[in-house]
């Protein structure tokens, strides 16, 4: 049976964006963005360069306050959380894998993964150690805790970033371009790892990507943004979007030049 894209009426979504407008000063990048993410779903956010994917991510993780609209995490508004303390409370509940993995070069992989646990929990050192070991095993980096980021390949760095993002068992995991800079095989391995974590732990994910094989492999739903309309032009399972008659959606899914705006 065909499922409709989730909205705020479909139970309690993990994340809901309501008529969100975001931008920088007078430059409106996205307006009236509405979508929800249900528990356990993987939603991919797609779109050409400059359409606002990273801007949307910044808003969803609390780094960029929306100009208008609201963001809800499990029904609780987080977009008003602009004070340091409230923002820290929100940050405890979400995990973020940044595009560059954003590991601290002077710390070992284990120390990088331990950072959020030490910062946001009262776990004693032995427990921090055990959690770090578990998280590194989860991303298949067991035994690499004492390595420094510069000792690791691109794919391993991303997996270490993933272990850090999952350190506090987040309610939702955001990933910015998890396969960028990876060769096709490593990229496919990253997709499999995300699927494995989703299936085994039920973790809800929002993944920013324009990698077509990844989109087709991991998404329950996709949201396509477009620069000319400054908003969403398509929502749905990727195999349906692939058949969309909209010329911009068609061009993206069939790797053709974008039609003139
Ligand atoms: N810090 C900033 N200040 C002002 N404008 C910005 C800033 N960051 C991004 N923009 C502008 O916002 C728009 C969307 O940029 P964004 O980085 O969100 O796009 P994107 O979809 O992530 O692109 P890409 O696929 O190239 O990463 C662009 O026009 C960009 O110039
Ligand atoms: Mg970007």
Residue 188 CB neighbour total at 10 angstroms: 16
Domain 15-253 has CATH 3.40.50.300: yes
pLDDT mean across residues, the chain = 91
User: Which region, left, alpha or beta, applies to residue 6 given φ > 0 means left and ψ of -120 to 50 means alpha?
Assistant: beta
How far is the centre of ligand 2, averaged over its atoms, from the C-alpha of 177 (Å)? 8
The number of the ligand nearest the C-alpha atom of 60 reads: 1
How far is the centre of ligand 2, averaged over its atoms, from the C-alpha of 9 (Å)? 30
Which residue of 52, 65, 98, 99 sits with most ligand 1 atoms within 8 Å of its CB, as the best mutation to test the pocket? Answer: 52
Specify the pTM: 0.92
The number of the ligand nearest the C-alpha atom of 52 reads: 1
Which position has the higher pLDDT, 139 or 100? 139
As a dihedral over the C-alpha atoms of residue 76, residue 79, residue 81, residue 87, rounded to 10 degrees, the angle is: 90
The number of the ligand nearest the C-alpha atom of 227 reads: 1
CA distance 16 to 38: 9
CA distance 1 to 31: 32
Extract the tokens encoding 222.
Answer: 């996709």
pLDDT in tens, 180-193: 889 999 999 999 99
What confidence score (pLDDT) does residue 63 get?
A: 87
- HSE-CB at 135 with a 13 A cutoff on CA atoms is 29
Domain ranges of the chain: 15-253
How far is the centre of ligand 2, averaged over its atoms, from the C-alpha of 11 (Å)? 31
pLDDT in tens, 19-54: 999 999 999 999 999 999 999 999 999 998 899 999
CA distance 261 to 258: 8
What confidence score (pLDDT) does residue 84 get?
A: 72
CA distance 66 to 20: 7
């Amino acid at each position: 049976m065909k499922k409709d894209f989730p909205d705020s009426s479909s139970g309690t979504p993990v994340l809901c964006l309501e008529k969100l407008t975001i931008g920088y000063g007078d430059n409106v990048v996205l307006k009236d963005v509405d979508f929800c993410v249900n528990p356990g779903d993987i939603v991919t956010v797609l779109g050409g360069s400059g359409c606002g994917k990273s801007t949307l991510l910044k808003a969803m993780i609390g780094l960029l306050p929306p100009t208008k609209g609201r963001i809800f995490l499990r029904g609780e508004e987080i977009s008003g959380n602009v004070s340091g303390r409230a923002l820290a409370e929100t940050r405890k509940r979400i995990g973020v894998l940044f595009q560059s993995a954003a590991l601290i070069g002077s710390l070992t992989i284990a120390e990088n993964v331990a950072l959020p646990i030490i910062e946001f929990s009262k776990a004693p050192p032995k427990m921090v150690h055990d959690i770090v070991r578990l998280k590194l095993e989860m991303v298949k980096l067991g035994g690499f805790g004492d390595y420094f980021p510069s000792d690791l390949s691109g794919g391993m760095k991303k997996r270490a970033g993933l272990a850090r993002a999952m350190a506090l068992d987040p309610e939702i995991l955001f990933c910015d371009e998890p396969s960028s800079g990876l060769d096709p095989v490593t990229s496919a391995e990253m997709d499999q790892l995300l699927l494995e974590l989703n299936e085994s732990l039920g973790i809800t994910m929002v993944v920013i990507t324009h990698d077509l094989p990844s989109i087709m492999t991991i998404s329950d739903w996709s949201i396509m943004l477009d620069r000319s309309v400054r908003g969403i032009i398509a929502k749905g399972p990727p195999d349906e979007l692939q058949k969309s008659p909209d010329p911009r959606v068609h061009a993206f899914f069939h790797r053709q030049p974008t039609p003139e705006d």
